[in-house]
Structure 1
Amino acid sequence: MRNQFIATAVMLSVFSFTACQQSQNAQSAHNDTTQQAQDTTAAVAEPVAADSSSASVLETVMSAPATVKAGKPILVKFTVNNPSASEQAFCKWHTPFEQRFLNAYFEVTNSKGEAVQYKGAMAKRVTPPPADAYIKVAAKGSVSAEIDLLMGYKMDAPGTYKVVYQGEGVSGLTKVNEVTVTVE
């Protein structure tokens, strides 16, 4: 009986030591995660501040055909102009420059003002964006991309649709016009 008692005491001591070690490791991991989050927040704050001042200089013009036959592609052209005397950059995330819909970065409404259903992917992103997520626009230059709205939005019913860009929080592009398209 005494041996069982000693064996139980030893086992409890081992378990307590292991639990204590795991608790310390968890606390250390929590502290590391908290520090990483603080470092990431600092890293995110700096590039966004630098890029948002650059992107605010950029002007974006959307264009689309006035009328389109039902079922045919509805191509929206997205042109980013840099009127400044120095090269500027913007994040291509949440823009047609990604060449596919990875988020609902357009607000599309029908003639009744009802939101059109988004049917594309909803990608999660790491922050801050990596360097290859930025597109440079030369001084006094421009870049363009096109995207088919049918690839991301349910616009198969005849009617007039208003398209408004709403991805400025990610891309930094704030000066963007609206377009209207009639589907026949």
Structure 2
Amino acid sequence: MLKSLIRPLCAAGFLLCAALPAAASNPYPMLECRLSLPKTVALGQPVPLDFALSNPGRKLLWVLAWNTPLEGLRNRFLRVTGPAGEIGYRGPMFKRGEPAAEHYRRVPAGGAIHGEIDLALAYAFDRPGRYTVEFTGGLHDVIVAPARPPRTLAQLRAQPLPCTAAEVEVVAP
């Protein structure tokens, strides 16, 4: 009985210890993302989404703004669902070359940056009801100061960006 308990415990301990150095040496800082919408909007009116990106760390960061609200609506990076299910994206789709320094946004240590977009420009909020917006993208590159942007496509270091969903109620005017 004791022997059957020791093997799984030893294996679990080994796996935990093996994972610790990798987590401790992770060069990518964890950024925090928040989506905000007004509680209600009238049907046919703008639907302003605020995207906040916070840096709780102690070092200045540069983030590549591609496919985030920091650069506006230039690709599909959100999932919008409404009373009838998922709503298709009908905005522009950009192809990219090498990133330039102006494609990056500076996120100060302990600070935050914001990007605001009007979702009604790319998604049909065409009936009253509750709509949910989720960020499905990530960051294509994060640079820790003192390094500075840009990097080549081959040098980019993508980072996932978990972000809580936001909701808005669209009401008849």
Instruction: Tell me what 1:155 maps to.
Output: 125
For the structure 1 residues 181 and 156, does the alpha-carbon distance in structure 2 shift closer, same or farther, using more than 3 Å as the test? same
SS class of match (2:86):
coil
The answer as to whether partners of 1:157 and 1:183 remain within 8 angstroms in 2 is yes
The answer as to whether partners of 1:104 and 1:152 remain within 8 angstroms in 2 is no
Q: In the TM superposition, what whole-angstrom CA distance separates every residue of 1:136-167 from its partner, at most 9, and x where no partner exists?
A: 10110111111110011111211111100012
Between Structure 1 and Structure 2, the one with more helix by share is 1
SS class of match (2:80):
strand
Instruction: Tell me what 1:174 maps to.
Output: 161
Do structure 1's residue 57 and structure 2's residue 36 form an aligned pair? no
Do structure 1's residue 165 and structure 2's residue 135 form an aligned pair? yes
SS class of match (1:164):
strand
Aligned equivalents of 2:140 and 2:60: distance in 1? 19
Aligned equivalents of 2:140 and 2:130: distance in 1? 28
Name the % identity: 33
For the structure 1 residues 153 and 161, does the alpha-carbon distance in structure 2 shift closer, same or farther, using more than 3 Å as the test? same
For the structure 1 residues 142 and 148, does the alpha-carbon distance in structure 2 shift closer, same or farther, using more than 3 Å as the test? same
Length, aligned pairs only: 129
Instruction: Tell me what 2:44 maps to.
Output: 71
Offset, 1:132:
2.0
Aligned equivalents of 2:167 and 2:30: distance in 1? 25
* Paired letter, 2:163: V
Do structure 1's residue 82 and structure 2's residue 58 form an aligned pair? no
SS class of match (1:136):
strand
* Paired letter, 2:104: Y
Which segments of 5 or more consecutive residues in structure 2 lack a partner in the other structure?
A: 1-25, 142-158
**Largest Rg, 1 or 2:** 1
Instruction: Tell me what 1:123 maps to.
Output: 94
Of residues 136, 141, 144, the one that matches 2:114 is 144
Offset, 1:67:
1.1
Aligned equivalents of 2:105 and 2:27: distance in 1? 15
Q: TM-score, normalised by structure 2?
A: 0.68
Aligned equivalents of 1:169 and 1:137: distance in 2? 13
Do structure 1's residue 111 and structure 2's residue 98 form an aligned pair? no
Offset, 1:104:
1.2
Offset, 1:180:
0.9
Between Structure 1 and Structure 2, the one with more strand by share is 2
Offset, 1:118:
1.2
Which segments of 5 or more consecutive residues in structure 1 lack a partner in the other structure?
A: 1-51
Do structure 1's residue 92 and structure 2's residue 65 form an aligned pair? yes
* Pairwise CA RMSD: 1.9
Q: TM-score, normalised by structure 1?
A: 0.64
